[in-house]
Structures are given as C-alpha cells and as structure tokens.
Amino acid sequence: MTDELIAPRGHLASFSNVGFVFLDRDGVINRKAPDGCYVTSWHDIEILPGVQRAIALLNQTSRKVIVVTNQRGIALARFSEPELQSIHEDLQKHLSSFGAHIDSIYYCPHDVGQCECRKPGTGLFERAFGDFPEARPETSVMIGDSDSDVLAGANMGMKTILITETPYPSCGEVGRATASARSLLEAVETYLG
C-alpha cells in the first residue's frame, strides 16, 4: 500500500477543468539545494527526472505553466536578480530543446517577514492573476514540495498537489493538499493527463 497517493482516485475528476498550472521551482523542477545553500547559477541546477516531459505534456494540452518561487538568496546577497534571471533564461533554453516552455516566472526576492509575496503569502499569485486575466483560482492548481507551497495555493482557493518522496509524509500541510505525487511527471500523468 505504500505506493498509493494521498488522494484517492476519485479526486482525478476534480482536476479536469485546470487550465493554469503553478509550479514551485526548487524541489519540483530542479533538485533543492541543501539547507543553507542556494542555487546561484545554471551550473548548480540539476533538473529532476521527467520534468521536461511533464512540462511538454502540459504545453501540449494548452495549459499555462507558471513558476512561483521564493528566492531568499537575493535578500541574503548570495546572488543577484540579474543572476537569477540568467538562470531562468537558461532554464527556458533547456526546456525548449525538449519542446517545452514556461509561460511566466514570478519570484520573491525578500527575506522572511518582509513582504506579502513570499509563499505562503499570495502576492506572486495575485501578480500572475493580474497578468493572466482569464486565470481563476478554481481553474488553477499549485504544485509544490513544501507546506508553504500548499498553504499559498490553499489561501488562493486553488487545488494543490504536494510533491513528496513518501506516500504518507509528515508535512503539517499535507492534509490541506488536494492530492500528492512523487514527482512532477507523476502529478501531470495522474491528475492532468
């Protein structure tokens, strides 16, 4: 039974109207750096298995793919905003070689407690909804690997998918997640295929 997802199969239908897929970056698209370390250049990026295919599948179904990511390293002077933008440009180039793309990337450069955009705050989502006026919480899903991702999506009234390596994680917010999966590819194939 350890291979089961948190959400029962009955939840599959609840994702049928999703047109906007919000993704966290670190831990969903690329391997998260160890605690206290930061992804500071493209050379630090290790794309997780299946990510290119997952994003290409979303693109093929005409869903918008939007990244919302906390990037506290900017506030801590570990890297600059131009360096972060360069990483994201390289990410887009990498994905394009697999026939995939991200429609937009939003990031929070602030430290904890300095803003409303740092997840679980909803500022990044509000900006995205402003830029994509056809987007609605009820037709969107947030896919992330942390409590703050799930809580941010829930705060917006969105469906949420928690990426977790274990089927029954101890994360405090897992109960708020609509569903879970072990990878972005599994989430897309199971719920958004």
**Catalytic option among 26, 145, 147, 149:** 26
**Can you spell out the DSSP letters for 24-76?**
-SBTTTBPPPPTT----SGGG--BPTTHHHHHHHHHHTT-EEEEEEE-TTTTT
Contact 184, 7 (CB under 8 A): no
**Catalytic option among 3, 24, 145, 147:** 24
Strand partners, 137: none
* CB-based burial, 96-126: b 16+ in 10 Å, e otherwise: eeeebebbebbbbbbeeeeeebbbbbbbbbe
Respond yes or no: is residue 90 known to be catalytic: no
Report d(CA 62, CA 40) in Å as an integer: 31
Report d(CA 19, CA 105) in Å as an integer: 16
Report d(CA 178, CA 5) in Å as an integer: 11
**Can you spell out the DSSP letters for 14-37?**
GGTT--EEEE-SBTTTBPPPPTT-
Respond yes or no: is residue 26 known to be catalytic: yes
Kindly list the catalytic residues.
24, 26
